Amino acid sequence: MNRILPAILAVIFAVLLCSVALLISGDDPVAAFATMITQVGEGQTAVNVINTGAVYFIAGLAVAIGFKMNLFNIGIEGQYRFAVIVAAIYGGSVHLPPGIHTLTILLVAAVAGALYALIPALLKAYRGVSEVISTIMLNSIVAGITGVLVKPDMFGVQSGNNLATAAIPPSGRVPGIPLGSAGTLFGLVFLAVLLGVGYWFMLGRTRFGFELQASGESATAAAAGGVNARRMVLIAMLLSGAVAGLIAMPELLGRDFSYGINAPQGYGFTGIAVALIGRNSPTGIAIGALLWSFLDKSAVSLDNIGVSREIVTIMQGVIVLSVVVAYEIFRRRELKTQQQQVGTEFLSGKTAGGVA
């Protein structure tokens, strides 16, 4: 219960705070939140929440892998954008049998994301350079890389006012699941599920997962137990980058089929928020991803009742801050409780020994 209670309290606090803000601005908070909830049942909103939630979930997993190692891989944004442009160029330039074409695109995306994460990984492991600084710099560089690659004299194709890579042929695409008027579910939603199961298995059923968590909790103790800290930094960053490379694949292979200069951005930063909300657990990240996606997709309904949709942005920010504070409060309370229990047991044992 202590794992989910802080997140629940954070959401409640965000709703109350935003309600106050709405009242101050002269709007009805009950009508605003009711409109957002009912919007899920309108048109294709519910399917869009799941589709976007799958993208956010993969982003959250990529961030969480670093968090488990006490690495703040803020470069998920740059890694996924580098990976998607490389995968889009590859996918649109080759012709392979269906299935093989798709698998190779996914493989290229994962490898490209890992390679872009290799730079800060090497700097961290061999020179002690903060991964926060190096990955922020690489986030800035990737915008220039995209601008150079998606040019008419490079790999860009001009289509009206849009400049994008060549379209990926049908052999490389992943068919969606049509749900009638409710929309089409991305086929690669199941990729997000598989990644979540793999993440859970890695943490709880493998030696690497144990070493990853041990290194994150205490690098000194892990090193004393024979864990190679440098090796763990490299593997954790590469694995985080590889997962980051898959973030945009549901959209690229299920809807867009090319990558343009106007493609959506910011998924890497959303992944940080989702991982914080989910406390790096696969179930928590899934809930955080769906919550964030719901807020994004239902915000448009506020225009219908004259409420500024920016209230949703405020709510998202408050949720993240509140979750961080709530988890820290609960962590300190648990630590204090454990210390009291140890002290009580020590005194009990000492008293028993004295009586004997």
Domain for residue 356, yes or no? no
**111 assigned to some structural domain:** yes
Is residue 329 in some structural domain? no
Residue by residue, pLDDT tens for the chain (356 residues) are 556 777 788 888 888 989 998 998 888 999 999 999 999 988 899 999 999 999 999 999 999 999 988 888 899 999 999 999 999 999 999 999 999 999 999 999 999 999 999 999 999 999 989 999 999 999 999 989 988 998 888 898 887 778 899 999 999 999 999 999 999 999 999 999 999 999 999 988 898 888 888 887 777 777 777 888 888 999 999 999 999 999 999 999 999 999 988 788 899 999 999 999 988 899 999 999 999 999 999 988 998 888 888 889 888 888 888 888 888 887 788 777 777 777 676 666 666 655 55
What pLDDT score was predicted for residue 53?
A: 96
Residues paired with 185 in a beta bridge: 177
What pairing do the DSSP bridges indicate for beta strands 162-165 and 156-159? antiparallel
**Domain assignment present for 314:** no
| 227 within a domain of the structure (yes/no) | yes
> Residue 128: exposed, middle, or buried by beta-carbon count in 10 A (0-12, 13-18, 19+)?
exposed
Half-sphere exposure of 95 (CA within 13 A, CB side): 0
Residues 6+ apart with CB under 8 A from 148: 154
For the beta carbon of residue 35, count every other beta carbon within 10 angstroms.
18
Looking at residue 50, what is its pLDDT? 96
Residue 22 lies in a domain: no
**351 occurs within a structural domain:** no
Q: What span, in angstroms and rounded, lies between the C-alpha atoms of 313 and 166?
A: 34
Confidence (pLDDT) at 339: 76
Q: Are strands 156-159 and 184-185 parallel, antiparallel or unpaired?
A: unpaired
- The answer to the question of residue 147 being in a domain is yes
N-to-C CA span, the chain: 41
Domain membership of residue 261 as a residue range: 55-285
Residues in the chain: 356
Number of domains composing the chain: 1
pLDDT at 345: 67
Contact present, 278 and 288 (Cβ < 8 Å): yes
Q: Alpha helix (H) ranges present in the chain? A: 5-24, 29-39, 45-68, 76-93, 100-127, 131-149, 189-205, 207-217, 219-224, 229-244, 249-251, 267-278, 282-298, 310-355
Say if CB 13 and CB 345 are below 8 A apart: no
- Beta-carbon count within 10 A of 234 CB: 18
Q: Find out whether 124 and 237 touch, Cβ atoms under 8 Å.
A: yes
